[in-house]
Amino acid sequence: MIGGGASGVLTAINLLTIPGGEQVAVTIHEASGILGRGIAYGTCDPRHLLNVRARHMSAWTDVPSDLLEWAARTGRDVDPQGFLPRRDFAAYLQDTLASVADHRLTVRAGRVDDIVPLDGGGYEVHASGTVSVTDSVVLAYGNQEPRALVVDGDVLPPASWHVANPWDLAALHLLPGDSTAVFVGTGLTAIDTAITFLEEHPSRRVVMVSRHGFLPETHVGQQSTAWVSPTITGPLDADRLAAFFGEQVVAAQAQGVDWRAVVDGLRPQTQAAWQLLDLDERRRFLEKHARHWEVRRHRMAPEVAARLEDYQAEGRLVVLAGGVHRVVDRGERCEVHIGQGHAPVVADALVNCTGPSTDISRSGDPLLLALRERGIASPDPLCLGLSTTTDGALLDPHGQLVAGFYAVGPPRKGTLWESTAIPEIRTQAAEVARAQVALLPLRVFATGR
Model confidence pLDDT, tens digit, residues 42-98:
999 999 999 999 999 999 999 999 999 999 999 998 899 999 999 999 999 999 999
Could you tell me where in the chain the CATH 3.50.50.60 domains are found?
A: 6-145+357-447, 150-217+299-352
Q: In the prediction, which pLDDT does 207 show? A: 99
Fold (CATH) for 150-217+299-352: FAD/NAD(P)-binding domain (3.50.50)
Report, as an integer, the average pLDDT of 377-401: 98
Report, as an integer, the average pLDDT of 96-109: 96
Could you tell me the CA-to-CA distances from 284 to 240, 242, 253, 275, 287 in Å, in that order?
Answer: 11, 11, 28, 14, 5
Q: In the prediction, which pLDDT does 23 show? A: 87
Residue range 298-318, pLDDT digits in tens: 999 999 999 999 999 999 999
CA–CA separation, 385 vs 354, rounded Å? 16
With cut-offs at 50, 70 and 90, classify the pLDDT of residue 234: confident
- Half-sphere exposure at residue 447, Cβ-oriented, CA atoms within 13 angstroms: 30
Considering the chain, what is the average pLDDT of its residues?
94
Residue range 186-222, pLDDT digits in tens: 999 999 999 999 999 999 999 999 999 999 999 998 8
With cut-offs at 50, 70 and 90, classify the pLDDT of residue 2: low
Strand partners, 356: 146
Report whether pLDDT(448) > 60. no
Q: Are 39 and 143 in contact (CB under 8 A)?
A: yes
Q: In the prediction, which pLDDT does 446 show? A: 62
CA–CA separation, 11 vs 21, rounded Å? 13
Q: In the prediction, which pLDDT does 443 show? A: 59
Report, as an integer, the average pLDDT of 241-253: 97
Length of the chain: 449
Residue range 250-307, pLDDT digits in tens: 999 999 999 999 999 999 999 999 999 999 999 999 999 999 999 999 999 999 999 9
Report, as an integer, the average pLDDT of 372-382: 98
Instruction: Answer whether 0.75 is exceeded by the pTM.
Output: yes
Q: In the prediction, which pLDDT does 436 show? A: 86
With cut-offs at 50, 70 and 90, classify the pLDDT of residue 445: low
Q: In the prediction, which pLDDT does 444 show? A: 59
Q: Are 10 and 426 in contact (CB under 8 A)?
A: yes
Q: Are 295 and 216 in contact (CB under 8 A)?
A: yes
More confident: 315 or 443: 315
The phi, psi pair for 299, rounded to 5°, reads -90, 165
CA–CA separation, 54 vs 87, rounded Å? 13
CATH number of 6-145+357-447: 3.50.50.60
Residue range 124-181, pLDDT digits in tens: 999 988 999 999 999 999 999 888 999 988 999 999 999 999 999 999 999 999 999 9
Beta strand 334-337 with 112-117 is unpaired
CA–CA separation, 110 vs 49, rounded Å? 29
Q: In the prediction, which pLDDT does 222 show? A: 82
* Closest alpha carbon to 6 in 49, 35, 45, 44: 35
Report whether pLDDT(392) > 70. yes
Q: In the prediction, which pLDDT does 225 show? A: 81
With cut-offs at 50, 70 and 90, classify the pLDDT of residue 233: very high
